[in-house]
Amino acid sequence: MKTAIYPGSFDPVTLGHVDIIERSAKIFDKVIVGVLRNSAKSPLFSEEERVNMLKYVTRDIPNVEVLSFDGLLVDFARLNGANVIIRGLRAVTDFEYELQLAQMNRVIAPELDTLFLTTNLKYAYLSSSMAKEVAMYGGDISAFLDPEIAKKVRDKFRGKILGYQGER
Ligand code: ADP
């Protein structure tokens, strides 16, 4: 059985991520989406929220499982019997970092390979942080996120603004 891991922060999951997950699920017997628990990026959504959002958007893909992890990606992959790491590439700006990461993982876990899927051109510009930035200023994020996820992002920012005002 060929199992792949698709790791990331997914803060929140975008339509670009969903596209990569759908395509990976056609290539592999099983795809484990690995949500990085303690992202250095101080996430907007908690680990549980990010996992639940991913479970929601992948509910119709039977060979996808969503788990969270901490520590080394290669340990998480080994623990789950995965032999391939999937990463998405949007533009050359992703390339240098991704190449370095893949090479480092290859040195510490030679049995694991990294497979890059190029973005669907529709989502080449899209990142979680861009979607959050647009939402923060009240812009329309419906082209970036599943409608339910977009609602959660809007609610989160609304809550933050109310919370802030409440503290004053
Ligand atoms: P990380 O913090 O690990 O970069 P992200 O959640 O930002 O986590 O991204 C996870 C993976 O998905 C990365 O490989 C990233 O390049 C890829 N990715 C992000 N956005 C897109 C997109 N719009 N199209 C294709 N791949 C994407």
User: Domains, the chain, ranges and CATH?
Assistant: 3-124 (3.40.50.620)
What is the reported pLDDT for 161? 62
Q: Does 30 appear as a known binding residue?
A: no
**Active site residues per annotation:** 17, 41, 90, 128
**Helix residue spans in 28-144 (DSSP H):** 47-57, 73-79, 92-108, 128-136
User: Do the Cβ atoms of 23 and 62 come closer than 8 Å?
Assistant: no
Does 15 score more than 90 pLDDT? yes
Does 168 score more than 50 pLDDT? no
Provide the 10 A C-beta neighbour count for residue 67: 14
Distance 164 CA to ligand 1 centre (A): 30
Span 74-103, average pLDDT = 93
Backbone angles phi, psi at 84, to 5 degrees: -135, 140
Minimum CA distance residue for ligand 1 atom 10: 8
Distance 162 CA to ligand 1 centre (A): 30
Ligand 1: nearest atom to the Cα of 118: 25
Q: Does 124 appear as a known binding residue?
A: yes
What is the reported pLDDT for 166? 47
Q: What is the pLDDT of residues 18-69, one digit of tens each?
A: 999 999 999 999 999 999 997 567 899 999 999 999 999 999 999 999 999 9
Distance 158 CA to ligand 1 centre (A): 25
The reply to whether ligand 1 has any atom less than 6 angstroms from the CB of 77 is no
Name the average pLDDT for the chain. 92
Backbone angles phi, psi at 103, to 5 degrees: -70, -40
**Helix residue spans in the chain (DSSP H):** 15-27, 47-57, 73-79, 92-108, 128-136, 147-167
Span 127-150, average pLDDT = 95
Q: Which residue has the higher pLDDT, 64 or 157?
A: 64
Minimum CA distance residue for ligand 1 atom 20: 127
User: How confident is residue 167, by pLDDT bands cut at 50, 70 and 90?
Assistant: very low
The reply to whether ligand 1 has any atom less than 6 angstroms from the CB of 132 is no
Q: What is the pLDDT of residues 38-49, one digit of tens each?
A: 756 789 999 999
User: How confident is residue 17, by pLDDT bands cut at 50, 70 and 90?
Assistant: very high
User: What pTM value is reported for the model?
Assistant: 0.92
Q: Which residue has the higher pLDDT, 93 or 135?
A: 135
Q: Which residue has the higher pLDDT, 59 or 163?
A: 59
Rounded distance between C-alpha atoms, residue 7 and residue 32, angstroms: 8
